[in-house]
């Protein structure tokens, strides 16, 4: 698969994912038996985050289209292709990270364990929309993360890729050594991510009890994760898991949350291990 085809395919899969988790799934839950959208405030929140998602998705597509015409193979170190391009990340030699499916599993494991620790300490890193919801607890947990979490993270992803495009183009135009790119882009993205996160938090959750320093750290980590992994997957899952655990702790006891999480993680580990064994078996058969 050539350079352009790979990035176009990655972008296409990502857009399908965004449509499903920000558009289709929330509408299914909202208009379904839970009746979430019968409450006007919830419908307004959905439309607000849908607007953010559309704007950010269009922005990312524009960045990709522009980059595909102005960068070529060999420019990978300075390109903004960060939906899932682990070859340009710091952990590019780790095979499990190169595969998006295994990276999803690993991200869920790591951030769920952090979610358990947050449950035990009652320390969370991001607020969620506060709405008096009158539907099932399952729908309540769902709306704690979707579409707010992926919409906000998508906005960060667009901002990171836009900055990468601008800085990368400057490096290419002035023929600057590409090895210096990572030392400039990481602190720059860290600052921009913190700025984005704090502004978003201040505007959306002005009555939150969460300290701004904690919020800054949360969003700063998200931005840096995108750069060092060369993928938005860890950042998206980190935000989703945080919001879900935050809501679970509002609805259920800490002991129940921890017990269910451990059980689910054991099940996921079995599925993950089965997937790895099947992949290895296929490779041996191909040889």
Q: What pTM does this model have?
A: 0.87
Residue ranges of the chain with per-residue pLDDT less than 70: 1, 33-38, 122-135, 206-210, 284-287
Q: Exposure pattern of 120-146 as b/e (b: 16+ CB <10 Å)?
A: eeeebbbbbbeeebebeeebbbbbbbb
Q: How far apart are CA 147 and CA 155, in angstroms?
A: 12
Q: How far apart are CA 108 and CA 115, in angstroms?
A: 10
pLDDT digit string, tens, across residues 193-233 = 999 998 888 877 766 666 778 888 999 999 999 999 999 99
If we measure between CA atoms, which residue out of 11, 21, 48, 16 comes closest to residue 157?
Answer: 11
What are the helix (H) ranges across 89-232? 95-98, 100-121, 137-145, 148-173, 181-204, 212-229
The angle at the Cα of 236, spanning 104 to 62, to the nearest 5 degrees, equals 110
Q: What was the pLDDT predicted at 249? A: 82
pLDDT digit string, tens, across residues 6-32 = 889 999 999 999 999 999 988 888 777
């Amino acid at each position: 698969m050539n350079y352009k085809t790979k990035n176009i395919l990655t972008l296409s899969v990502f857009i399908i994912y965004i449509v499903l988790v920000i558009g289709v799934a929330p509408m299914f839950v909202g208009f379904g038996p839970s009746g979430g959208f019968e409450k006007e405030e919830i419908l307004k929140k959905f439309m607000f985050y849908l607007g953010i998602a559309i704007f950010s998705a269009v922005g990312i597509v524009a960045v990709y289209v522009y980059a595909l015409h102005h960068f070529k193979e060999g420019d990978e170190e300075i390109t903004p292709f960060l939906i899932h391009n682990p070859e340009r990340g710091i952990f590019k030699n780790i095979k499990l990270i190169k595969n998006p499916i295994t990276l999803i599993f690993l991200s869920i494991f790591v951030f769920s364990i952090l979610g358990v620790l947050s449950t035990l300490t009652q320390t969370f890193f991001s607020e969620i929309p506060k709405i008096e919801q009158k539907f099932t607890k399952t729908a309540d947990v769902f709306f704690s993360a979707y579409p707010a979490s992926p919409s906000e993270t998508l906005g960060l992803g667009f901002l990171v890729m836009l900055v990468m495009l601008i800085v990368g183009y400057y490096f290419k135009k002035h023929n600057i050594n590409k090895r210096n790119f990572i030392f400039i882009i990481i602190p720059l993205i860290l600052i921009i991510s913190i700025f984005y996160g704090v502004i978003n938090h201040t505007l959306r959750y002005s009555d939150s009890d969460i300290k701004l320093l904690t919020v800054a750290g949360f969003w700063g980590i998200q931005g840096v994760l995108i750069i060092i992994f060369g993928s938005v997957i860890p950042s998206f899952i980190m935000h989703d898991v945080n919001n879900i655990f935050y809501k679970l702790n509002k609805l259920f006891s800490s002991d129940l949350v921890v017990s269910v999480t451990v059980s689910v993680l054991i099940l996921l580990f079995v599925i993950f291990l089965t997937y790895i064994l099947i992949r290895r078996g296929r490779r041996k058969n191909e040889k």
